[in-house]
């Protein structure tokens, strides 16, 4: 089946309508996942939340973390967050590792966010 269109997981419709922002966009067997910022007071909790949200968006389109082929992470403070990011990633993903780019930045769309992750997944 050659599907094309936005993927809006349960509970995300209001965000899609208000901000014209699709959590993901599917084109055939490829899913482009928008940046996800987790929540939590501790960095480890925020990162765990981000990867849980990533898994949920993937699942809404019948993909999984195993289908991720490319990932980009944005770090407000790369020195503090890179190690915890890799630990959170490694807790939910395994080889073969996706291509990954880590970018330092000054701020994210959510003012309290410290790390944002976006991904591309390919089924099969």
pLDDT digits (tens, 9 = 90+) for 2-35: 689 999 999 999 999 999 999 999 999 999 999 9
List for the chain the helix, strand, coil content (%; round to 5). Answer: 35, 30, 35
What's the CATH code, domain 4-122? 3.30.1330.40
Whether the model pTM is above 0.75? yes
Looking up tokens 């991904």 gives: 119
For residue 96, say if its preceding peptide bond is cis, omega within 30 degrees of 0.
Answer: yes
- How many CA atoms are closer than 13 Å to the CA of 59, on its beta-carbon side? 7
Place of tokens 């790390």: 115
């Amino acid at each position: 089946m050659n599907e094309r269109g936005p993927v809006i997981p349960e509970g995300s419709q209001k965000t899609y309508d208000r901000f014209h922002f699709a959590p993901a966009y599917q084109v055939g067997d490829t899913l482009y996942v928008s940046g996800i910022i987790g929540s939590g007071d501790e960095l480890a909790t925020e990162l765990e939340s981000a990867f849980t949200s990533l898994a949920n968006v993937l699942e809404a389109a019948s993909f999984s973390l195993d289908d991720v082929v490319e990932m980009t992470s944005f770090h407000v403070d790369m020195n503090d967050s890179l190690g915890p990011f890799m630990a959170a990633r490694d807790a939910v993903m395994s080889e073969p590792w996706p291509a990954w780019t880590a970018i330092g930045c000054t701020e994210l769309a959510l003012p309290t966010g410290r790390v944002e992750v976006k991904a591309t997944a390919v089924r099969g």
